[in-house]
Amino acid sequence: MSKKNSMKRILITGGCGYVGTVLSEYLLKKNYHVTSIDLMWFGNYLKKTRNLVSKKKDFSELKNSDFKNIDTVIHLANIANDPSGTMNPSLTWDVNVIKSQRLLEKCIKNKVKRFIYASSGSVYGINKKKRVTEDLPLVPISEYNKSKMIFEKILFSYKTKMKIYCIRPATVCGVSPRMRWDISVNILTLNAIKNKIITVFGGNQTRPNIHIMDLVRIYDFFLSKKNIPEGIYNAAFEIFKIKDVAKMIQKKKKTKIKYLKSNDPRSYRQNSDKIIRLGFKPLYKIEDAVDDIIYQYNKKIIKDKTNCYNLKQMKKLKLNTK
């Protein structure tokens, strides 16, 4: 196999997930050969197609043969978000750190050249600075955030073995075949559609967001661009107060907004100038995500089901056993 073709062969852990499904489909359209590795706790919405290999498998149990001709691994699989991470801390640390390091070792053994890791912007914790850049100290406050931070440190201890890229995405929004309703913009929009009321706890908290298509485009950017410096990159392009997101949705879907007191004062900010300086340009906005959700829900393309909520589905699968 030529080196040119080899560069097109990508292994994605969590390839059937919320971001992974959209990423897999996007890369397939761009003529990449995609191997998706996923336990499929939340289902499998990938359609069988040429150049796709989809395996229901624990990413830490991959065999050498699974890495044949693989040039790049994109590591998306994890126990995601604070509630899921807190529900079963031992599972969170096992998947997000211990098994992830096992994956790194197998990548080194099989001469994978490039490893792209999906961390989280939440590793910064509560930070009041207006410009939260990649070089600031990390002060994670949950099991999920902490596990992400620890694996980042482990990850860069391997930087002499292969090229390492760490993406710290903001909260993702938008439509995916493997839909998630347990993230802020998506659930606020769903509540407006179904209940004609958006309940906002607090409202003055600021949260960075990224449209799912821009996040997918970032992964492709790192695959297709040559000579990108290794390191950590924020991925957040719109920062709004939660109440302002609710008002944006209200303009598109007739609904009431109910404000309740909140004991969660957390505000997050991220600055993404570093990746923009490399030439990446975001194309999508939160508003686009809201429009897509309203349209696809009304057309019954996406639905409100248990497996659209990480915590609910994990409890259903009895993954909450400590």
What does the pLDDT read at residue 3?
44
* Chain segment 230-241, per-residue pLDDT in tens: 999 999 999 999
- Is residue 198 one of the residues assigned to a domain? no
Degrees, nearest 5: CA angle 220-233-9: 30
For the chain, which residues score pLDDT lower than 50?
Answer: 1-7
How far apart CA 68 and CA 47 sit, in angstroms, is 23
- Is residue 72 one of the residues assigned to a domain? yes
φ and ψ of 300, to 5 deg: 65, 25
What does the pLDDT read at residue 4?
46
- Is residue 274 one of the residues assigned to a domain? yes
Q: What are the tokens at 95?
A: 């998947």
- SS3 of the chain: the string is CCHHHHCCEEEEECCCCHHHHHHHHHHHHCCCEEEEEECCCCCCCCCCCCCEEEEECCHHHCCHHHHCCCCEEEECCCCCCHHHHHHCHHHHHHHHHHHHHHHHHHHHHCCCCEEEEECCHHHHCCCCCCCCCCCCCCCCCCHHHHHHHHHHHHHHCCCCCCEEEEEEECEEECCCCCCCCCCHHHHHHHHHHHCCEEEEECCCCEEEEEEHHHHHHHHHHHHHCCCCCCEEEEECCEEEEHHHHHHHHHHHCCCEEEEECCCCCCCCCCCCHHHHHCCCCCCCCHHHHHHHHHHHHHCCCCCCCHHHCHHHHHHHCCCCCC
Question: Do strands 238-241 and 206-211 pair parallel, antiparallel, or not at all (unpaired)?
Answer: antiparallel
Question: Half-sphere exposure (CA, 13 Å, Cβ side) for 187?
Answer: 14
**Residues 107 and 73: beta-carbon distance below 8 Å:** yes
- Is residue 199 one of the residues assigned to a domain? no
Question: Do strands 33-38 and 231-235 pair parallel, antiparallel, or not at all (unpaired)?
Answer: unpaired
**How many other β-carbons are positioned within 10 Å of the β-carbon of residue 315?**
16
Global pTM reads 0.95
Q: Which domain holds residue 98?
A: 3-176+209-237+266-285
φ and ψ of 177, to 5 deg: -55, -35
- Is residue 193 one of the residues assigned to a domain? no
- Is residue 318 one of the residues assigned to a domain? no
**Which contacts qualify for 251-254: CB closer than 8 Å, 24 or more apart?**
252/287, 252/290, 252/291, 252/294, 253/189, 253/192, 253/193, 253/294, 254/196
Domain of residue 275, CATH code? 3.40.50.720
What does the pLDDT read at residue 264?
76
Backbone torsion region of residue 39, taken as left when φ is above 0, otherwise alpha when ψ lies between -120 and 50, otherwise beta: alpha
Question: Do strands 171-173 and 206-211 pair parallel, antiparallel, or not at all (unpaired)?
Answer: parallel
Q: Give me the number of domains the chain comprises.
A: 1
- Is residue 299 one of the residues assigned to a domain? no
What does the pLDDT read at residue 69?
95
* Chain segment 142-178, per-residue pLDDT in tens: 999 999 999 999 999 999 999 999 999 999 999 999 9
How far apart CA 13 and CA 11 sit, in angstroms, is 7
- Is residue 184 one of the residues assigned to a domain? no
